[in-house]
Amino acid sequence: MTLDVLPQELVDMVVFDNRLDASDLNKIRQLSRSHNHRFQHINWAFLFPSREIRILLTEDSLLRLYRIVENACDDLKSYIPHVFIDPIEPPEPEEACANHKEPPDPREVQKIIRALKHPRVKSLITKLMKALTHLRTIEFNLWDDFIGVGIQWKLVMDAIVTAKRGTLETLRTPRNKFPMSSLSPPRQQLALQQSLFANLKSLLVTTAVRTAYERVTVTMEFWNWISVIGGNNLEELVVIGFRGESFAKPVPNAEGRFLPKSFNLPKLKHLELTDVCVTFKDLNVILRKGNIRHLESIRIAERVAEVNRPAFFFKLLKRLQKYGARRLRNLELPLGGTHNNVVAYELPNLCFEDNWSSPKTETRVEVNMH
């Protein structure tokens, strides 16, 4: 008995049992139009099992992907919602030792930089952004020691604007020590990003302080960019900072702020700030009176401006309680004691199973001892 005469229920059992490979599925699809329509999405699931693709911003890699999606049907494109940008690495020197990584050949590095700057690469990325109609996530799997990180970031962000790709829900910047000024776009592009990122729900930003301390003019532009692209629907914000060994105390503006007063994320649920300068006035802006009711978790860690002061913790608790943060389930704040310049203890992390402001709610306390 052949497959095409079997009841559809039995055919489903054979196909969905995951015992067939891609060539078998193609043969099934060729049986009839109905079989093709019924099982083509399973074939796509074989091609894109994790519903994601990992690409290099090279002409060859971009061209191969573009040829797949250029004339693809909408159902196929729905299987490619997540794009990960992987690093372009130069070839290993022939004399390289297996246990010792040699620095890349400067000539190979310059070759990669020139290729990234080629107009053909920019054109292909823009065409891809237009073609990937179901794109939901862009994540840069790039770290500080990879080549051309800043160029790749700008290429992709420019392509999103040029292609008017307004479907993104998640954006993960390179894990690079970007200066804040490199993340904030020019004012004209910022206005375009505001509409294109209207669906953004999750944003992870990694940045760095290149000088002795933050310059307020730069921090204002940086936080304004986050507010603009995340102002409509952003639910998760993670900002991770890096700074040098300088212990110079950052100085906010005359009003005691690093953030603009206009900063507003009305749907924010999860906030995580690591090694980022904020004052209590800044936190009052991030955690606005009308927005606090959505909050589910707050995590603030590492060196910050005045957040480490003991009074800050209790001020924040009072604010959260006063304005109804009843969905809050997790609270982590930096507060520690030192002895001979060594951290002796940190404030416990608090986790709540129910309304944290109720006396009857059980609280799990995690103590960090050093």
pLDDT band at 106 (very low <50, low <70, confident <90, very high): confident
Bridge-based pairing of strands 82-85 and 178-179 is: unpaired
Residue 129's Cβ-side half-sphere holds a number of Cα atoms within 13 Å equal to: 23
Distance CA(289)–CA(322), nearest Å, equals 9
Note the pTM of the prediction, 2 decimals.
0.82
pLDDT band at 32 (very low <50, low <70, confident <90, very high): confident
50-91+103-335 is a CATH 1.10.405 domain: no
Closest CA to 258 of 238, 231, 232, 285: 285
pLDDT of residue 162: 93
pLDDT of residue 232: 82
Could you state, in order of their start, the residue ranges of all structural domains in the chain? Answer: 1-47, 50-91+103-335
Is residue 15 within 8 A of residue 38, CB to CB? The reply is no
pLDDT of residue 280: 85
Is residue 299 within 8 A of residue 276, CB to CB? The reply is no
Across all residues in the chain, what is the average pLDDT?
A: 80
pLDDT of residue 325: 85
- pLDDT of 8 > 70? The answer is no
Is residue 32 within 8 A of residue 6, CB to CB? The reply is no
Instruction: Render pLDDT for 198-241 as a digit per residue (tens, 0 to 9).
Output: 999 999 999 887 665 668 888 899 999 999 999 889 999 999 98
Q: What are the structure tokens assigned to 2, written together?
A: 């052949």
Using alpha carbons, list the distances in angstroms from residue 348 to 78, 263, 301. 44, 29, 12
pLDDT band at 164 (very low <50, low <70, confident <90, very high): very high
Instruction: Render pLDDT for 306-362 as a digit per residue (tens, 0 to 9).
Output: 555 667 777 888 888 888 888 888 887 765 544 455 555 556 666 676 777 777 777
The amino acid at 332: E
For the ranges 283-287, 328-332, 365-369, the lowest mean pLDDT is seen at: 365-369
Is the Cα dihedral 117, 225, 216, 305 positive or negative?
Answer: negative
Distance CA(25)–CA(219), nearest Å, equals 54
Is residue 234 within 8 A of residue 265, CB to CB? The reply is yes
